[in-house]
Chains A and B, each alone.
Chain A
Amino acid sequence: DAKTTQPTSMDCAEGRAANLPCNHSTISGNEYVYWYRQIHSQGPQYIIHGLKNNETNEMASLIITEDRKSSTLILPHATLRDTAVYYCIVRVASNNAGNMLTFGGGTRLMVKP
């Protein structure tokens, strides 16, 4: 699985957009980008994933650069409850493999009032 690089921590004002970057310069053509977050004392929670195209769901948007070497997770209107560690993970998705997740250190996002 390709390695990812994320900033250790970021701050965001409540109500503003939170933009969390992730570098994955060694990503392969069949590897997806996944984002999970972990709120304190809870298990990780899936947010979104994408392959090439930008994706949006009720939680966030995922912007993947054209060369796929980096991506940005966008929380459009951050709330205090979005304070968490955000993990960017890159891996192949296959029905024939375990598809386990390799977590790095993540970005600790602090949303401030």
Chain B
Amino acid sequence: DTGVSQNPRHKITKRGQNVTFRCDPISEHNRLYWYRQTLGQGPEFLTYFQNEAQLEKSRLLSDRFSAERPKGSFSTLEIQRTEQGDSAMYLCASRPLSTHEAFFGQGTRLTVV
């Protein structure tokens, strides 16, 4: 059971730098989600893929954020020109088409200094 894998687990970056996170979903899970969680709050939805198609994006996903899921397998989330307000835990989840349960990764904790 490999579960949802996210890399890196931690990232410290200077303000203004670009960062990229990777999510490897459970094999054959065609739905993939990105969430962001700040300290003391519940996770907030960012974007959703079904296979390689990005079908929904939250208003939270500013122009500096971009997500891809080439070939419908792993996904990447890139943040350009990072700001201190981007500091958060970035969570990835996946699930098959016909089940209720979403499986979350351990997250990538981003700190912008």
Contact = CB atoms under 8 A, between A and B. Distances in A.
Interface of A: 32, 34, 41-46, 49, 85, 87, 93, 95, 98-106
Contacts of A32: 100
A103 B42 contact: yes
B91 A43 contact: yes
Given A100-B56, A102-B45, A106-B42, A95 B97 contact: yes
A101 B48 contact: no
10 contacts: A44-B93, A44-B102, A95-B97, A98-B33, A98-B50, A99-B31, A100-B33, A101-B102, A102-B45, A105-B42
A43 B105 contact: yes
Contacts, number: 54
B100 A101 contact: no
Contact of B101 (A42, A46, A87, A106): A46
How would you classify the secondary structure of chain A's contact residues: helix, strand, loop or mixed? loop
A45 B44 CA distance: 15
